[in-house]
Chain A
Amino acid sequence: MLAVVVLTACSGLKRNNPYDPDGSAYKGVTYKGDINYPAGTSITAMIYGTTGLCLAGYSAASGYCVMRLEGTITDYVGSTGDTPGHFRYIQDICADDSGDIYAVDNKNIMQVITPTTDAMSSWTMTNVTTTVDKLSITYLSNHIYVSSNIDKQIFEYSTTGAFIDSVNLSFTAYGPFTPGRIFKSANHIYVVNDASKNQIVEFTPNLSQDGLYDMQDNIYDASVNGGLLELIASGAVYNVDENMVLSLKWGNFGVGPGMVFNGELIACDQTTGDTYLLDGQTIKRFGE
């Protein structure tokens, strides 16, 4: 009888771990390991460009710069400075369809990097007030969108720097709004309230407000992957559609390296579908 009691205490083993690609309950997301990047680097923005993972921040090797990870080699573009070709407190980067990388720091200057040659050019962001505090940028359909927390506006430029439009974003139905991180989907751009990161405002490409969402979690960054938006919060990733309808929450299951503890930034490789997360000081790769 004792043996029967003990045997009934056995846990039933079923291969239904939701992250196990061979499991019956697989969610389509598997932790694939960490990405090495130079020690002593403080990352403030991350995208996956045509040449691979691209980081912006402060590097012990080159100061404020853009870093393109090419296997074990890191290509540093730019250095610390206050003139074009240099950065100070680099804040955000984005890439256009051709692979050019756009970067903003504490100046009202947009700096453009051609990844194949590392050549840099720049243009002034008209109407962006100096001194800049926080800027965030994104690219959609040949336009660059810039959010400024001091101006409390969203600016729209061409890729060559021509000012197109701007919209005031200081108040929503939820109350005061401070434009923070800006990101895109296939047809919209979204701005996170820097003072209350669970609030997101949706715009059409011509800057007409198209939605307001309360995500019930603080959203720090987002990226498009396979037609869905992947929003990163501190402890999970939300896969949502353009209307912020949730299809999957992941990164919050289990314990160990594949867990999202302190999510900050997210980037997606559109070719492989892999997702890269900056989790504290670690870049983690997930995919099917």
Chain B
Amino acid sequence: MKKPLFITFLLIAFFASIIYGGLSDNQQAVKYYSTGVSYHKKKDFNNALMYYNAAIKKDRKFWQAWLGLGICYYSMAKYRNARLIFSYVLSLKPGEPTAKKYYDIMSPGSRKNAAALNTPKSKGDLMWRSACLPGMGQFYNGEIAKGYIYSLGFIASIAALIKYTLDENDAVAAYNNTNYDYADKYKAAQDAQSKIIVPAAVAVGIWSISVLDAYISGSDGKPSSALKAVEIKYDRGITVAWNIARVEF
């Protein structure tokens, strides 16, 4: 009776080693990892993070768990964490293609970086930036041309507003401190005051359009149909996870 049972166990261990071969020697870590992957596939990044972390705690050299963790952070737009983790993955497994790919696109100066960071940002993130300075939300969202148009337009209108305000102050002072040509100087002060309205209106307009544009361009936080699934395969050709990343390569 014992012999068939033992053979069965060996077979199970063999197939398990095929399926999870090269992952980790720590079965508990593998279990956490596989749970993390399943959450990851469901885009439940918080739970995925928790299980990846648990797996890493069990086996600190478990680079696949580190990779999953990095991709999770990337998907959550926490690029700084993601970059550090991918760097660590590359130190654990030099040349690992997936980690290298992510690491490269997040490296400063990388052209791909802009594309990577072009991940749709939340409406709130874009709007408060645009509210602070028109164009900043667009820059943050990777819309460089729009960012320049809004920011330079706003700065130019504010500069004009400041100039016209100074002119208006001078004209009003000229009227208040004159003792001749009252009508002409009062008219000049009125004209100077009315001139202020134009750049003020332009500034307010640009500000409003920038914030509105940020609202339209921003993501509402729901999964997008445009999200692209990235299949990550590890060595031995075994698919260890279907990681979903918000990235458009």
Where the two chains meet, the residues of A that have a C-beta atom closer than 8 Å to any C-beta of B are 2-3, 6-7, 9-13, 15, 17, 19-23, 30-31, 33, 253-259
In the bound complex, what is the Cα–Cα distance between A20 and B179 (angstroms)? 7
CB pair B186–A259 under 8 Å, yes or no, is no
Tell me which of B161, B169, B173, B177 contacts A3 (CB under 8 A). B161
Closest to B176 in A: A17
For window 133-171 of B, CB contacts with A under 8 Å fall at: 158, 161-162, 165, 168-169
Please give, as numbers and ranges, the residues of chain A lying within 8 Å of B161 by CB-CB distance: 3, 6-7
Min CB–CB distance A274 → chain B (angstroms): 15
CB pair A22–B203 under 8 Å, yes or no, is no
A-B contact pairs, 16 of them (CB 8 A): A3-B161, A6-B165, A9-B165, A11-B172, A13-B172, A13-B193, A17-B175, A17-B176, A17-B186, A33-B180, A253-B179, A254-B177, A254-B179, A256-B180, A258-B178, A259-B179
Min CB–CB distance A220 → chain B (angstroms): 20
Please give, as numbers and ranges, the residues of chain B lying within 8 Å of A6 by CB-CB distance: 158, 161-162, 165, 200
Please give, as numbers and ranges, the residues of chain A lying within 8 Å of B204 by CB-CB distance: 3
User: Per DSSP, are chain A's interface residues mostly helix, strand or loop, or mixed?
Assistant: loop
Chain B: interface residue total (CB-CB under 8 A): 25
> Contacts A13-B175, A254-B178, A255-B178 hold; do A7 and B186 have CB atoms under 8 A apart?
no
User: Per DSSP, are chain B's interface residues mostly helix, strand or loop, or mixed?
Assistant: helix
Residue of A13, A254, A255, A257 most packed against chain B (CB within 10 A) = A13
Tell me which of A9, A10, A23, A259 contacts B182 (CB under 8 A). A23
CB pair B178–A3 under 8 Å, yes or no, is no
Known contacts A13-B172, A15-B186, A256-B178; 4 further A-B pairs (Cβ under 8 A)? A2-B158, A3-B204, A253-B177, A254-B179
Min CB–CB distance A251 → chain B (angstroms): 8
For window 174-200 of B, CB contacts with A under 8 Å fall at: 175-180, 182-183, 186, 189-190, 193, 196, 200
CB pair B169–A10 under 8 Å, yes or no, is yes
> Contacts A3-B158, A6-B162, A7-B196 hold; do A20 and B172 have CB atoms under 8 A apart?
no
> Contacts A2-B158, A7-B200 hold; do A31 and B180 have CB atoms under 8 A apart?
yes
Where the two chains meet, the residues of B that have a C-beta atom closer than 8 Å to any C-beta of A are 158, 161-162, 165, 168-169, 172-173, 175-180, 182-183, 186, 189-190, 193, 196, 200, 203-204, 207
- Listed from nearest, the 10 A-B pairs whose CB atoms lie closest are A258-B179, A20-B182, A11-B172, A254-B179, A254-B177, A258-B180, A3-B203, A19-B179, A31-B180, A11-B169
In the bound complex, what is the Cα–Cα distance between A33 and B180 (angstroms)? 8
Please give, as numbers and ranges, the residues of chain A lying within 8 Å of B203 by CB-CB distance: 3
Please give, as numbers and ranges, the residues of chain A lying within 8 Å of B180 by CB-CB distance: 19, 31, 33, 256-258
CB pair A3–B200 under 8 Å, yes or no, is yes
Residue of A11, A22, A257 most packed against chain B (CB within 10 A) = A11
Tell me which of B178, B189, B207 contacts A13 (CB under 8 A). B189
Please give, as numbers and ranges, the residues of chain A lying within 8 Å of B183 by CB-CB distance: 20, 22
Closest to B181 in A: A256
Closest to A32 in B: B180
Please give, as numbers and ranges, the residues of chain B lying within 8 Å of A31 by CB-CB distance: 179-180
Please give, as numbers and ranges, the residues of chain B lying within 8 Å of A17 by CB-CB distance: 175-176, 178, 182, 186
